[in-house]
Amino acid sequence: MAEARTLAGEALAAALRDSRERTRAWTFDLDDAQWRVPQQAGVNLVAWELAHVAWFAEFWILRGPHALDSAGRVRAAQPARLAGPDALFDSARLAHIARWAAPLPSRDELGARLDAQLDACLEALAKQDDSDEALYFHRLALFHEDMHGEAFAWLRATLGYGPPAGLAPPRLAAAAPAISVPGAQVRIGWPPARSGFAFDNELQDHPVELAGFEIDAAPLTAGQYLRFVESGGYDDPAFWPGEAGRWRATQPRSHPARWRRQPQWQVRWFGRWLPLDPEQPAMHLSAWEAEAYARWAGRRLPTADEWEHAAASQPAFSWGHSVWEWTASTFQPYPGFAAGPYRDYSAPWFGDHRELRGGAFATHERLHDLRYRNFFQPDRCDVFAGFRTAAP
């Protein structure tokens, strides 16, 4: 949805209201016990994450100008007025494990804080011109909240809560033959002539020489992945070399974490176990599982550059509204990278995270952009991730 990057004026205000409406709908329907999330990697306490969303928007939109302190952290010139303090709600300042001991607002206090912060930010937006520079932090706050909206969805799935109201299941792609993509010199990244908001890791666009390759027209289905499972692929070390094998040794199972056989195969969908649908995309897989399947099939994962080029150039390439797609690429900066004002968005994660592309069924339409780079550590299987394969 390329036009989302150029939202301005009332359209941007409406998008901010829409994002907040979804944030509240996907959290405030949970009861107090469900808000008390057990401490574990990959999820946050609901109250902390809601407070962080409000803090983030106020910090960047209302508290400027910003500058680096002697420790290299971004500081705001204006104090927190609605959604502080920084020490509690800046994710770079408060370690994940410490959030369970932090004093958090009550549900009613959070509701009032979210409303006050949104009203103040919309009032500030109404005074801005429509230049990309003036709207940068308003758009950043929008996309940041959209990302946290998806995080609330995978929290619910991880903890076995019901799905958020209105969340549609993954989109199914029609079966289609693999696509042959000729070799070419291509440009990857944000085109200099494209206006609107760009994340720092999408910059700068640069030339890449790609050899010809074949790539699946759509993400892998559960039925395709089932053949790997039933062939004993999880127990053959040939498909799990190096770090993948070390990860596999920690997993006491021979199938994906959210599958079971009783006696037919079932897949966990949020709080329910449902019969495995072979046409649904394979989901909740780690990068190691994706690569193991690819080795078993005599194929490989596409690189992020190959994925982006295929999405941009091949009409039969189906992507988005299904699963995030693991690639073979380590998340790295593009040539000429410079960290944006939100310095902790990309730079801390280069080198040890794996790049994903596309967009899942729980990803807001606004974040579906073929140049958008998602990134997680390769062992993560709680997010809505699958994959497609490539060759040679």
Encode the chain (392 residues) as per-residue pLDDT tens digits: 669 999 999 999 999 999 999 999 999 999 999 999 999 999 999 999 999 999 999 999 999 999 998 888 899 999 999 999 999 999 999 999 999 999 999 999 999 999 999 999 999 999 999 999 999 999 999 999 999 999 999 999 999 999 999 998 898 888 899 999 999 999 999 999 999 999 999 999 999 999 999 999 999 999 999 999 999 999 999 999 999 999 999 999 999 999 999 999 999 999 999 999 999 999 999 999 999 999 999 999 999 999 999 999 999 999 999 999 999 999 999 999 999 999 999 999 999 999 999 999 999 999 999 999 999 999 999 999 999 999 99
DSSP β-ladder status, 324-330 and 385-386 = parallel
How big is the CA angle at 370 (ends 369 and 376), to the nearest 5 degrees?
85
- How many whole angstroms separate alpha carbon 113 and alpha carbon 125? 18
pLDDT at residue 171 in the model: 85
Second CATH level (architecture) for the domain 179-391: Alpha-Beta Complex (3.90)
Task: Please state the pTM of the whole predicted model.
Answer: 0.96
Tracing tokens 């490989």 back to the chain, one arrives at: 300
DSSP state of 92: T
What is residue 175's predicted lDDT score, i.e. its pLDDT?
87
Measured between alpha carbons, how far is 355 from 144 in angstroms, rounded to an integer? Answer: 18
Report domain extents, the chain.
2-158, 179-391
Please give the full DSSP string across 318-362, using - where no structure is assigned. Answer: --SSB-EEEEEEE--PPTT----SSTTTTGGGTTTSEEEEE-BTT
Q: Look up tokens 């998008």; give the residue.
A: 15
Rounded CA-CA distance 126/67 in Å is 25
The pLDDT of residue 172 = 85
**In angstroms, what CA-CA distances link 373 with 188, 264, 281, 392?**
12, 37, 20, 24
Q: Residue 1: its pLDDT value, please?
A: 63
Residue 317, strand partner residues: none
Q: What is the reported pLDDT for 383?
A: 97
**Position 213: which residue type?**
F
